[in-house]
Amino acid sequence: MNPIPVIAIFDVGKTNKKLFLFDEQYKIVYNETIQLAETKDEDGFPCEDVHALTAWLKNAFARAAANKNFQIKAVNFSAYGASFVYLDIEGNVIAPLYNYLKPYPPSLQKKFYDNYGGESVVAKQTASPVLGNLNSGMQLYRLKYEKPELFSKIKYALHLPQYLSYVLTGALNTDITSVGCHTNLWDFQKKDYHRWVREEGMYEKFAPMKDCSEIVCNIGGDIAVGTGLHDSSAALIPYLSSFREPFILLSTGTWCISLNPFNHAMLSDYELQHDCLCYLSYSGQPVKASRLFAGHEHEQQTKRLAQHFQKPLDHYKTVNFDMKLITTNPRNPSPKKISAESVSEFSNYEEAYHQLIADLIAQQQQSTNLVLKATAVKKIYVDGGFSENSIYMCLLSNAYPELEVFKASVAQASAIGAALVIHDKWNHQSKWQLVIGNRQ
């Protein structure tokens, strides 16, 4: 039996690290998932263990390559943004992969914005709300002023997707989707790095820009390897390839991100203040987006519910949607967290979990409305973890009775997107068309 031609996609999230092998029809024929224990940076703040991540990537690729059932024709990467890996002149990792949730020094943040025109001006130019370390360019700025010795040793700062590509290839590249994800680095009006990047000596620490549809190099003789993409931008690719009518993609995971590639209005101060921003698509076009930390909140709250009601951590997967638990609940759905005190108000796990999802939907509606308004959007496509949650999908549909809400039948949109963007480099079949699941 001849081995199946496949593309290997590493899809690296904050929580789950995944390897998929897709055949030429983009069906998953092999996958593995791992959760890696965090380590701590020099200040004791939790962060990704970049060495453990590197070791897993190498070992997982070796396992897949050794599998006689498959012939790997190409490899690409999708990963979370706002994260740099720092290399010295010899290509060695020389610093932690700092956590974007780490608090940013207020005085240093003030210094930056005072020097470059103020928060509102810079935020509009870079389409990046003031987010501290979530503006990944600010991580480099902090190193320059707080750790100058380390900063001087940095030869290259690679965004995480490009670091993953570097691990297998040794090639140094930057891609536009990573630069364009609320980094404070890119001037959306000038379509170039913001002036502070050159003035502060950051520009020379970035690898050359490469189109994300290009191949970095070939390894093992004939395996084409891509540059990697920011996961939210990658998740849009299957939809942009398949649909022309205006839509919103609600990409759900640790962050729930509402992406509207059909909203071209300039970001307002109000939108920026409410965590609205622009991404850059794989073709370099701005995509207005709003973000909500809902997946993280769901993870923390389900731990609380499991402990209080003495249920397994994943008990929520067994809870079916019941409208009676929404209408009879004494608490009105509102953007409030279930606290240690309020959880005792509920008579059982099912009631409390329905309220949790109702609270998250109330917050999600506020977030999605920021990019929905004044557009011709009639459809919302939901991918990622919450697309499999019947309670979430039913309540989202109820929140938008004037729109059609769909669950994508292929939930791994970021991985599929990373494969599609280099389709012509490995796959001789016609481009795959997204199949939409049932309307909610």
- Count the domains in the chain: 2
Q: Among 205, 227, 249, where does a domain finish?
A: 227
Q: How far apart are CA 101 and CA 179, in angstroms?
A: 18
Q: How far apart are CA 88 and CA 152, in angstroms?
A: 9
For residues 113 and 243, state if they share a domain: no
**Residue predicted with more confidence, 238 or 39:** 39
CATH of the domain at 302: 3.30.420.40
Residues 387-397 pLDDT 10s: 999 999 999 99
SS3 for the chain, per residue? CCCEEEEEEEEECCCCEEEEEECCCCCEEEEEEECCCCEECCCCCEEECHHHHHHHHHHHHHHHHHCCCEEEEEEEEEECCCCEEEECCCCCECCCECCCCCCCCHHHHHHHHHHCCCHHHHHHHHCCCCCHHHCHHHHHHHHHHHCHHHHHHCCEEEEHHHHHHHHHHCCCCECHHHHCCCCCCEECCCCEECHHHHHCCCHHHCCCECCCCCEEEEECCCEEEECCEEHHHHHHHHHHHHCCCCEEEEEECCCEEEEECCCCCCCCHHHHHCCEEEEECCCCCEEEEEEECHHHHHHHHHHHHHHHHCCCCCHHHHCCCCHHHHHCCCCCCCCCCCCCCHHHHCCCHHHHHHHHHHHHHHHHHHHHHHHHCCCCCCEEEEEEHHHHCHHHHHHHHHHCCCCEEEEECCCCHHHHHHHHCCHHHCCCCCCCCCCEEEEC
- Structural domain that includes position 173: 4-227
Residues 278-334 pLDDT 10s: 989 998 888 999 989 999 999 999 999 999 999 999 999 999 999 888 865 444 444
What pLDDT, on a 0 to 100 scale, did the predictor assign at position 250? 93
For residues 196 and 243, state if they share a domain: no
Query: Please, what is the average pLDDT of the chain?
Result: 92
Q: Among 192, 208, 227, where does a domain finish?
A: 227
Q: Are 244 and 255 in contact (CB under 8 A)?
A: no
Please give the structure tokens belonging to residue 294.
Answer: 């809902």
What pLDDT, on a 0 to 100 scale, did the predictor assign at position 384? 83
For residues 275 and 223, state if they share a domain: no
For residues 345 and 236, state if they share a domain: yes
Residues 101-113 pLDDT 10s: 999 999 999 999 9
For residues 59 and 188, state if they share a domain: yes
* Residue 359, pLDDT above cutoff 90: yes
Residues 214-229 pLDDT 10s: 999 999 889 999 999 9
What pLDDT, on a 0 to 100 scale, did the predictor assign at position 327? 60
For residues 214 and 258, state if they share a domain: no
What pLDDT, on a 0 to 100 scale, did the predictor assign at position 132? 96
For residues 430 and 289, state if they share a domain: yes
* Residue 234, pLDDT above cutoff 50: yes
* Lowest-confidence segment of 5-9, 32-36, 225-229, 386-390 by average pLDDT: 386-390
For residues 139 and 275, state if they share a domain: no
Q: Which residues pair with 251 in a beta bridge?
A: 257, 383
For residues 218 and 331, state if they share a domain: no
What is the pTM for the complete model shown? Answer: 0.84
Q: Among 227, 242, 276, where does a domain finish?
A: 227
